[in-house]
Amino acid sequence: MNKTVNQKAWFLILPVMVLVAFSAVIPLMTVVNYSVQDTFGQNQFFWAGLDWFKDMLHSSRMWDALGRQLMFSAIILAIEVPLGIFVALNMPKSGFWSSFCLVLMSLPLLIPWNVVGTIWQIFGRVDIGLLGYTLDAIGIDYNYTQDTIDAWVTVIVMDVWHWTSLVALLAFAGLRSIPDAYYQAAKIDQASRWAVFRYIELPKMAGVLMIAILLRFMDSFMIYTEPFVVTGGGPGNATTFLSIDLVKMALGQFDLGPAAAFSLMYFLVIMAISWVFYTVMTTIDKREGK
């Protein structure tokens, strides 16, 4: 008996496709158009080909910003992932205090990015901020607006405070998915605490940890609001990451062609590294599924 195939269900996703087209595809095509043309205003464009891409590849400004960005992301991952795992391992597994800790850990994630930057901008000021005033009172010379190291420390600590909760919550979810039988077998074998973590908890958390690393890398690599509000990319260009440099180029200098080429290269770098993470994640899932 032949069944009639009804394809009308595709019309249900038509509004979503239209929305995606307006919010993603059309702006992307606009950026691609700007990246191969030059303009002198009055909506007059001149073909430039790949000149802007060549200029960006030979631009020390872009490579310096990329170096700062990669360093920031590496530091963030090196701190937040182990710290998040440590917090998750020490959280109560059930009961009232478990729920209390989960709610407490979720609070920083609810704060908007611009508010986080404003909080730490005020918090670090020597005249009215609790952190800045306290450090100045005990004799520590701290000024995130003039000292490069202080600016980096402030931005890193701010990000750790804001996003370590995400890693901790994902790691906690991975721990809760481990059956009690594994712990009972380890107790019978008199396994040490390190052995339990190394051979039971860490392998079972590998999937969620890769998700946490992917999310934190993507967010830290595209960070803009928090460091811009706190330091404005300074002192000098010390905290001028890729996103901040891109906005300065596009809006501050109105160099639309170079900025468009810059943004496309930025996008491709994020896509390439995210693809690597995704490949590792799928490999882990296949290995665990065997």
User: For 30-87, what is each residue's pLDDT tens digit?
Assistant: 888 888 888 776 777 788 888 889 988 888 888 999 999 999 999 999 999 999 999 9
Q: How confident is the model at residue 16 (pLDDT cuts 50, 70, 90)?
A: confident
What does pLDDT average to over the chain?
87
Amino acid in the structure at residue 166: L
Nearest CA among 70, 58, 54 for reference residue 261: 54
Separation of alpha carbons 83 and 231, rounded Å: 25
CA distances from 105 to 42, 141, 153, 157, 200 (A): 51, 31, 22, 16, 24
Q: What confidence score (pLDDT) does residue 61 get?
A: 87
Q: What confidence score (pLDDT) does residue 71 get?
A: 95
The DSSP letter of residue 235 is S
- Cβ proximity of 270 and 261 under 8 Å: no
3, pLDDT greater than 80:
no
Residues in the chain: 290
pTM of the model: 0.85
CA distances from 223 to 111, 114, 247 (A): 15, 11, 12
Angle at 115 between CA 235 and CA 31, to 5 degrees: 70
Domains contained in the chain, CATH given: 56-289 (1.10.3720.10)
Q: What is the mean pLDDT of residues 205-212?
A: 86
